[in-house]
């Protein structure tokens, strides 16, 4: 906490108005530095208003270029494309693209060296990894050329929240990697521009939350960025203690599924707009809510996104399926048709904001968070959070499937909980998964977060 307060004091010495730093110093810094970030941000700010057809054309050109590069320079894809006899040079190679088998975490971990393009120098590779808290751990690479569009897209999406590039930010965040990164030179510059501070989402005790309130009131951020789980805990604390933090223009939630009940609790506590971001360690921001909140705009200049059913074919609008991503910018370690492990509902609606970027209707959670009943039913995380929250007396819970016939429920109860609540939960679960399912209730005072500080409501060990 002392360290945080010190950062806070240092940041308070930079009292230049945000509009000046945002509109003049921020672009000038990047133009002088020659890193290309400012022109990339401008490019994306322009292209978001292109028609869907024009964006599709840009996307297909980028896809063709990526496939050609991967075939010529990446051993893994050279072998794969040859093995399946896919002619990627044929005009309209999109249909051929769909013949490329899906990439998985397991395949990457088994073929990591072969996935590195032979055009890249080893010293230029930037290693990165996923936490592995919700599935298999993954190690992969990026380079500067891949990082630039990734960073520029974060800025484009952030502007949708009606905040300035350099508005003060607070992160309520848990990933040790990100907090460590903030100590790098790049991180320090970012911190200076945004006068941003990070608060750990690991330890949300009454004491630390009281301290966080003081920090927020003193730092006066315009933008708050957080995992939904810890932010909901914090919001509940604010409501319970009748505390308000004024001046926050927007909240970005990210890295976990944002459930409707969490959104309303956060909105009640902070009284500002909440924008959900769909992103991941591998790619940065994939899709983001705009000011109209009619779904998640897919950043299609950067990604080819598919939503597939169990048969591997695209699902219809309004149906849920597994998300498959092709990163159109990472040439040093290409991700082509990568099963990211998330379930989303696709949409053919057009957002009233006028952007040509297509929409995802909602993000339903992780593939690993599916509970499979002895009756064969597969039930996504969103169902469980809605169903169990509707039971009287359930304060918080975690459902874990240990094998196909057994689930454990860790439950934090409040004073409204009774025998009737337990019976109701039994009935909800048996109705959904079949009467053969065994349910073990474990009543607890606390449910541990993952090592990256996330809250998991559903865990499947299948």
Binding site for Zn ion (CB under 5 A): 290, 292, 351, 353
Smallest separation, CB 56 to Zn ion (Å): 17
* Contact call for residues 108 and 337 (beta carbons, < 8 A): no
Smallest separation, CB 426 to Zn ion (Å): 42
Nearer to Zn ion, 231 or 351 (CB): 351
CA distances from 277 to 101, 285, 348, 416 (A): 28, 7, 19, 34
Instruction: Find, among 3, 1, 2, 9, the residue nearest to 219 by Cα.
Output: 9
Which alpha helices (H) appear in 98-175, and where do they start and end? 105-110, 144-159
Smallest separation, CB 150 to Zn ion (Å): 21
Nearer to Zn ion, 353 or 372 (CB): 353
Residue indicated by tokens 């299948």: 462
Smallest separation, CB 278 to Zn ion (Å): 14
Smallest separation, CB 287 to Zn ion (Å): 11
Nearer to Zn ion, 292 or 420 (CB): 292
Nearer to Zn ion, 235 or 359 (CB): 359
Nearer to Zn ion, 300 or 411 (CB): 300
Q: Which residues contact 54 (CB under 8 A, 6 or more apart)?
A: 356
Smallest separation, CB 325 to Zn ion (Å): 21
Nearer to Zn ion, 248 or 290 (CB): 290
Which pair of tokens denotes residue 237? 């604390």
Nearer to Zn ion, 221 or 279 (CB): 279
Smallest separation, CB 154 to Zn ion (Å): 17
Q: Which residues contact 363 (CB under 8 A, 6 or more apart)?
A: 257, 258, 276, 278, 296, 342, 343, 344
* Contact call for residues 326 and 63 (beta carbons, < 8 A): yes
Which pair of tokens denotes residue 33? 């530095």
Three-state helix/strand/coil letters over 281-325:
CCCEEEEEECCCCCCEEECCCCEEEEEECCCCCECCCCCEEEEEE
């Amino acid at each position: 906490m002392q360290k945080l307060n010190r950062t806070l004091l240092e940041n308070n010495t930079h009292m230049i108005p945000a509009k000046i730093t945002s509109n003049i110093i921020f672009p000038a810094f990047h133009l002088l530095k020659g890193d290309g970030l400012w022109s990339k941000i401008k490019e994306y700010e322009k292209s978001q208003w292109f028609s869907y057809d024009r964006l599709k054309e840009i996307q297909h050109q980028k896809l063709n270029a990526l496939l050609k590069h991967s075939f010529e320079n990446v051993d893994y894809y050279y072998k794969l494309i040859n093995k399946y006899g896919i002619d990627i040079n044929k005009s309209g190679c999109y249909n051929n693209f769909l013949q490329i088998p899906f990439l998985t975490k397991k395949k990457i971990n088994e073929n990591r060296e072969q996935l590195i393009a032979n055009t890249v120098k080893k010293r230029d590779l930037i290693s990165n990894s996923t936490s592995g808290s919700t599935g298999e751990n993954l190690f992969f690479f990026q380079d500067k050329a891949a990082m630039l569009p990734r960073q520029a897209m974060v800025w484009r999406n952030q502007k949708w929240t009606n905040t300035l590039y350099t508005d003060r930010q607070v992160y309520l965040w848990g990933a040790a990697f990100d907090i460590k990164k903030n100590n790098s030179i790049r991180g320090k510059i970012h911190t200076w521009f945004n006068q941003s501070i990070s608060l750990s989402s690991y330890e949300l005790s009454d004491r630390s939350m009281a301290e966080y309130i003081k920090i927020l009131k003193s730092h006066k951020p315009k933008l708050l960025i957080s995992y939904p789980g810890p932010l909901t805990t914090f919001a509940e604390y604010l409501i319970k203690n009748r505390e308000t933090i004024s001046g926050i223009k927007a909240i970005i939630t990210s890295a976990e599924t944002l459930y409707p009940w969490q959104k309303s609790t956060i909105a009640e506590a902070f009284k500002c707009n909440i924008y959900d971001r769909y992103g991941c360690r591998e790619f940065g921001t994939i899709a983001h809510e705009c000011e109209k909140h009619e779904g998640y705009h897919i950043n299609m200049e950067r990604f080819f996104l598919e939503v597939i059913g169990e048969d591997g074919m695209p699902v219809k609008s309004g149906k849920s399926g597994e998300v498959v991503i092709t990163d159109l910018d990472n040439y040093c370690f290409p991700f082509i048709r990568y099963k990211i492990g998330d379930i989303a509902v696709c949409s053919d609606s057009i957002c009233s904001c006028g952007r040509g970027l297509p929409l995802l209707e909602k993000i339903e959670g992780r593939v690993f968070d599916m509970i499979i009943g002895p009756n064969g039913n597969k039930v996504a995380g969103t169902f469980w959070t809605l169903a169990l929250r509707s039971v009287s007396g359930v304060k918080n819970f975690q459902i874990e499937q240990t094998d196909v016939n057994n689930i454990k429920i860790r439950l934090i109860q409040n004073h409204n909980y009774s025998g009737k609540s337990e019976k109701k939960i039994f009935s909800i679960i048996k109705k959904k998964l079949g009467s053969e399912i065994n349910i073990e209730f474990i009543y607890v005072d606390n449910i541990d977060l993952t090592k990256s500080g996330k809250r998991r409501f559903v865990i499947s060990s299948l």
